[in-house]
Every structure is written in structure tokens, then in C-alpha cells.
Structure 1
Amino acid sequence: MKNYKLSEAEDILIGEKGTKERDEYEFELKLELIGDMIKTARKKRNLTQEQLGELVGVKKAQISRLENSTGNVTFETVMKILDALGAKLNFKLQLQ
């Protein structure tokens, strides 16, 4: 049995960096992480999805879709949600 480094396994199972498959995977992973962070922050604030939706001006279903990465949400809505949760978003831009 051959052992693989994590980066080698990712290349084999997902696709090499720069390929369409790998880019799509990494994009979906980032969306999932954002949803998880929002869900964690919401729970720390003792808010239901419905209550957070009311603070933001969207329906509970939209909060649920974002937290579960099952639908498209605008950047504006994400920013409103973070604001309602008292959370800050930091960006790091890397040019390659």
C-alpha cells in the first residue's frame, strides 16, 4: 500500500490546482466554510434562523440555504448577515 501526502491525494481525487474540477471544489468548500461560520455565530448570539432573517430582512429559508450551502446568496446579503451578527469579515487578496 502506497502512502500519499495530503496534497498528492487532493491532486488525484479532486484534480490538480488550476483545473476546473479543483477550482469548483475549492469554491464550494469556501462557501461551506462561510455557511458554517455564520451558523456558529448565529448560535453564539442565541438567534434562530427566523430571528436572524428578520434582522436582515430575508426569509428563514434564505438563512438556511446559506448555512447549508444549498443556494445562491448575494454578497450584499452575506454582509447584512455579518453586520446583524456583529461579525467582521477580513479579506486577503493574493495575486498569483
Structure 2
Amino acid sequence: MAKSKIKTYSLAEMKDKYIGKEGTKEREKYDYKLRMDVLGHMIKKARQERNLTQEQLGELVGVQKAQISKLESSANSATIDTILKVFKALKADIHFNVTIENKHLQLS
């Protein structure tokens, strides 16, 4: 009895097929949302590591608990200023990498 070979796909191939190829509007929207979700989870984890409630973190940052909750569920609506304030209140470093045409940029 001959075994049938099952085709496997990489995550990149699945994204290309079901979300859109890199550079398309749909793919960029997906990738942005994913990054914002990851950022929100990082904020939540850092807050929990510091044993702070959302309300306590909000007080340190100068925003309402609801905004911290919204930020943790997805950082989509947050300004970069708010995100920086949150990480500063958490005493956590945040690093940005900028790459232009495959060249990594650093601040001097």
C-alpha cells in the first residue's frame, strides 16, 4: 500500500496564501496588529512582574485604569508618548530598531 505524501506549509507560506503577500495592504495591517498585540502583552507581563494593578500603573502614568486595560489588550490606540511613559513607570527599558534598505541604523 503506497503512502500518500502530505504537503506541509511554512508559516510564511500560510500567511502569503491566506492573509496576503508581504507588501500588500492586508499583510501590513495584519503584521501591524500582531506587533501591537505583542506590545500589549509585554506591557501586561511587565506590570505583573512589578506586582502592580492596572489602576496603580495608570496612576503612575497619569491615565485611567481603562486606558491601561485597553493598552494591554492591544496597543493600537496608544501614542508612542503613552507607551514610553508606561515603560518608564514600569522601570523597563524599551529599545527601537530602525532598518532602512537592509541597513541597521543606530543613534549615536
**TM over 0.5, yes or no?**
yes
Identity of aligned residues (%): 51
CA deviations 1:39-93 (Å, max 9, x no partner) are 0000000000000000000000000000001751111111000000001111111
Select the structure that is richer in strand. 2
Gapped runs of 5+ residues in structure 2?
A: 1-5, 102-108
Larger-gyration structure (1/2): 2
Kindly report which structure 2 residues correspond to 1:33-44, keeping only aligned pairs within 5 A, or say none: 33-44=38-49
> Aligned equivalents of 2:76 and 2:28: distance in 1?
18
- Describe the shift of the 1:84–1:69 C-alpha distance in structure 2 as closer, same or farther (beyond 3 A): same
Matched residue count: 96
After TM superposition, where is structure 1 displaced by more than 6 Å over at least 4 residues in a row? none
Q: Secondary structure at the match of 1:4?
A: coil
> Aligned equivalents of 2:99 and 2:42: distance in 1?
22
Counterpart of 2:24 in structure 1 is 19
Kindly report which structure 2 residues correspond to 1:1-96, keeping only aligned pairs within 5 A, or say none: 1-69=6-74, 72-96=77-101
Gapped runs of 5+ residues in structure 1?
A: none
Root-mean-square deviation (Å): 1.2
The TM-score normalised by the length of structure 2 is 0.84
